[in-house]
């Protein structure tokens, strides 16, 4: 068992991944809907706060940043801290392969603030928006939308606008200034582990920006 404190401040313990979870990680259909990740978290979380028998709801209740953090920690306890990436240069004329090492233990973690609800007065319209964090329930709903976009990403976190239930129209018709302010307010209270890899191509200098977990080498090192 490996104990951790999550970005939300909750405590947990996880066990290593087995072949059962490896099968889930290769099931593209279950990955797309979020089912695979939820099942993996449920399998591998052996304790959350004081609880040891976790239900599917316990896993969905986890905040987005905690879930992301757990995925990285599951990789660390199962396969080690070091990830070797082979990044292909995005410049069409180059396409050189760049070998990069990432130590997952070095990734910066941003903790969540203690509050779970926030209020912002929008700078343009003067409207008051109450919003919360993204969690597993909302992630599943977003994954099920055929056209999930930036508007849905904001809408799903809004509790009310001037005391009224939000709808897509209200968020779409907001001025860019208000949408920008709302996006920034949401981002400012998000906890997470930053898995961004920023580097430049060794051959041509083109910037390469990616997420460490987006690569095959993350869960399946040396499989190519
Ligand atoms: Zn290049």
Residue 149, pLDDT > 90, answer no
| C-alpha dihedral sign at 25, 60, 195, 130 | positive
∠ at Cα 8 (137, 108), nearest 5°?
110
State the average pLDDT over residues 47-51. Answer: 96
Distance 68 CA to ligand 1 centre (A): 30
Compute CA distances 178 → 163, 183, 185, 196, whole Å: 17, 8, 10, 27
Residues around ion ligand 1, judged by CB within 5 A, are 89, 91, 94, 96, 201, 203-204, 206
pLDDT mean across residues, the chain: 94
Distance 197 CA to ligand 1 centre (A): 16
Neighbours of 173 (CB within 10 A): 10
Distance 11 CA to ligand 1 centre (A): 43
Residue 80, pLDDT > 90, answer yes
Distance 218 CA to ligand 1 centre (A): 22
Distance 88 CA to ligand 1 centre (A): 8
Question: Whole-angstrom Cα distance, residue 35 to residue 2?
Answer: 23
DSSP string spanning 89-155? PS-TTT--EEEEEEEGGGS-EEPPPS-S-EEEE-TTT--EEEE---BHHHHHHHHH-TT--HHHHHH
User: Model confidence at 175, in pLDDT bands (50, 70, 90)?
Assistant: very high
User: Model confidence at 206, in pLDDT bands (50, 70, 90)?
Assistant: very high
Q: Which pLDDT value is given to residue 181?
A: 97
Distance 19 CA to ligand 1 centre (A): 36
State the average pLDDT over residues 22-28. Answer: 90
Distance 87 CA to ligand 1 centre (A): 10
Distance 94 CA to ligand 1 centre (A): 5
Distance 91 CA to ligand 1 centre (A): 6
Q: Which residues contact 175 (CB under 8 A, 6 or more apart)?
A: 124, 125
Residue 222, pLDDT > 80, answer no
Question: Whole-angstrom Cα distance, residue 5 to residue 111?
Answer: 10
| pTM assigned to the model | 0.92
Distance 109 CA to ligand 1 centre (A): 30
**Would you kindly state where each structural domain of the chain is located, as residue ranges?**
2-107+193-219, 113-190
Distance 210 CA to ligand 1 centre (A): 15
Check if the beta carbon of residue 39 is closer than 8 Å to that of residue 18. Answer: no
Among 54-58, 157-161, 163-167, 220-224, the least confident range: 220-224
Distance 148 CA to ligand 1 centre (A): 32
Residue 148, pLDDT > 90, answer no
User: Model confidence at 224, in pLDDT bands (50, 70, 90)?
Assistant: low
Check if the beta carbon of residue 154 is closer than 8 Å to that of residue 168. Answer: no
Distance 98 CA to ligand 1 centre (A): 8
State the average pLDDT over residues 114-142. Answer: 96
E strand residue ranges, 158-206: 158-161, 192-193, 196-200
Q: Which pLDDT value is given to residue 216?
A: 85
Residue 52, pLDDT > 90, answer yes
Residue 69, pLDDT > 90, answer yes
Query: For the chain, how many residues are written?
Result: 224
Distance 20 CA to ligand 1 centre (A): 38
Question: Whole-angstrom Cα distance, residue 212 to residue 12?
Answer: 23
Residue 41, pLDDT > 90, answer yes
């Amino acid at each position: 068992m490996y104990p951790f404190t999550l970005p939300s401040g909750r405590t947990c313990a996880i066990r290593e991944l087995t072949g059962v979870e490896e099968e889930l990680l290769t099931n593209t259909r279950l990955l797309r809907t979020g089912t695979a990740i939820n099942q993996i978290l449920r399998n591998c979380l052996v304790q959350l706060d004081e609880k040891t028998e976790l239900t599917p709801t316990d896993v969905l209740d986890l905040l987005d940043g905690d879930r992301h953090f757990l995925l990285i920690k599951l990789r660390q306890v199962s396969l080690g801290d070091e990830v070797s990436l082979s990044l292909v240069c995005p410049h069409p004329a180059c396409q050189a392969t760049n070998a990069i090492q990432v130590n997952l233990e070095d990734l910066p973690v941003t903790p969540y603030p203690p509050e779970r609800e926030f209020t912002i007065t929008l700078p343009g319209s003067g409207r008051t928006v109450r919003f919360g964090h993204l969690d597993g329930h909302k992630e599943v709903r977003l994954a099920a939308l055929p056209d999930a976009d930036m508007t849905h990403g904001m809408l799903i976190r809004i509790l009310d606008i001037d005391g009224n239930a939000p709808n897509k129209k209200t968020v779409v018709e907001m001025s860019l200034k208000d949408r920008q302010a709302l996006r920034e307010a949401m981002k400012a209270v998000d906890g997470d582990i930053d898995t961004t890899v920023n580097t430049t191509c060794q051959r041509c200098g083109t910037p390469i920006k990616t997420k460490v977990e987006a690569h095959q080498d993350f869960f399946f090192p040396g499989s190519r």
